[in-house]
């Protein structure tokens, strides 16, 4: 309890500063004019035994000071202003919050290193196949030929053999080309079949029964 202390006659008055080295915080009591160190209390955990608040005031604390040679002592410290006592608490809380965050990040990094690693490299002899659409054909490759239009009844019209002659010694007359509008597919309904005319004296087509093939 701070009420049991001699608050009207403090044994020492000066400046309190909090520093940190690694995960340890240091409460340093220094001369307010020269900055000479009077005592310091290393804090490895907060809340903990190194810093304790009193039961009857929010401005007074008990800290454990050390001289570096193994000697320790508990002393009571207090702040004239309540805002300074609040800042003292917040400074210690922020430091150890940062320590916990660093410890968590280190643990996660260690788990990632120990876990199975994803191997995206090619194994020996492994290949991949890429299908690229709309690739241009190599020069000289034979393109797909368009199907020939079918005649009436689904029969395909075959051209006459090159250099061939009809049975009467005359070439057969060529069929007229079907008319087609741009963009209109050729269908059976658009094919025009030449109507037979009066039979000439000689058969223009020849004797099909005697045609070879």
Asked if residue 149 is part of any domain, the answer here is no
Q: Is residue 106 part of a domain?
A: yes
Is the bond into 47 cis (omega within 30 degrees of 0)? Answer: yes
pLDDT score at 185:
53
- 42: confidence class by pLDDT, cuts 50, 70, 90: very high
- Look at residue 135 and tell me if it is in a domain: no
The set of residues, in sequence order, having a beta carbon less than 8 Å from that of 64 and lying 6+ positions away, is 41, 49, 50, 51, 72, 73, 74
Q: With respect to residue 91, please indicate whether it lies within any of the assigned structural domains.
A: yes
pLDDT in tens, 68-109: 888 999 999 999 899 999 999 999 999 999 999 998 898 888
Q: What is the CATH classification number for the domain harbouring 29?
A: 2.30.29.30
The first and second tokens of residue 52, run together, are: 């304790």
Q: Is the pLDDT of residue 59 over 80?
A: yes
Residue 76 maps to a domain: yes
DSSP annotation string for 122-170: PPTT-------TTPPPPTTPPPPPPPPPB-GGGPBPPPPPTT---TTSS
Domain that holds residue 32: 2-114
Q: Which pLDDT belongs to residue 189?
A: 47
In a domain, 13, yes or no: yes
Q: Which of 64-68, 78-82, 184-188 has the lowest mean pLDDT?
A: 184-188
Q: Average pLDDT over the chain, rounded to whole?
A: 75
Could you tell me if residue 68 is inside a domain?
yes
Does residue 163 form part of some domain? no
In the chain, the number of structural domains is 1
What's the pLDDT tens digit per position in 121-179?
Answer: 777 777 877 777 766 555 555 555 565 555 555 555 566 666 555 454 555 555 555 55
The alpha-carbon radius of gyration of the chain (Å, integer) is 52
């Amino acid at each position: 309890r701070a009420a049991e202390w001699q608050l009207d006659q403090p044994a020492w008055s000066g400046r309190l500063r909090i520093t940190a080295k690694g995960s340890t915080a240091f409460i340093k009591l220094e001369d307010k004019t020269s900055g000479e160190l009077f005592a310091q209390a290393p804090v490895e955990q907060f809340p903990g035994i190194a810093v304790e608040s009193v039961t009857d005031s929010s401005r007074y604390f008990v800290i454990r000071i050390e001289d570096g040679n193994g000697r320790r002592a508990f002393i009571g410290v207090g702040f004239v202003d309540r805002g300074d006592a609040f800042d003292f608490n917040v400074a210690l809380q922020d430091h150890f919050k940062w320590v916990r965050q660093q410890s968590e990040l280190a643990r996660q990094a260690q788990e990632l290193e120990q876990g199975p690693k994803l191997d995206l490299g090619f194994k020996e002899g492994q290949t991949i196949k890429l299908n690229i659409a709309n690739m241009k054909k190599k020069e000289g490759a034979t393109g797909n030929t368009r199907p020939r239009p079918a005649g009436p009844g689904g029969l395909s019209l075959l051209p006459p053999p090159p250099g061939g002659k009809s049975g009467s010694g005359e070439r057969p007359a060529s069929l007229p080309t079907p008319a087609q509008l741009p963009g209109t597919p050729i269908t059976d309904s658009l094919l025009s079949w030449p109507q037979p005319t009066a039979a000439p004296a000689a058969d223009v087509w020849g004797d099909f029964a005697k045609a070879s093939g």
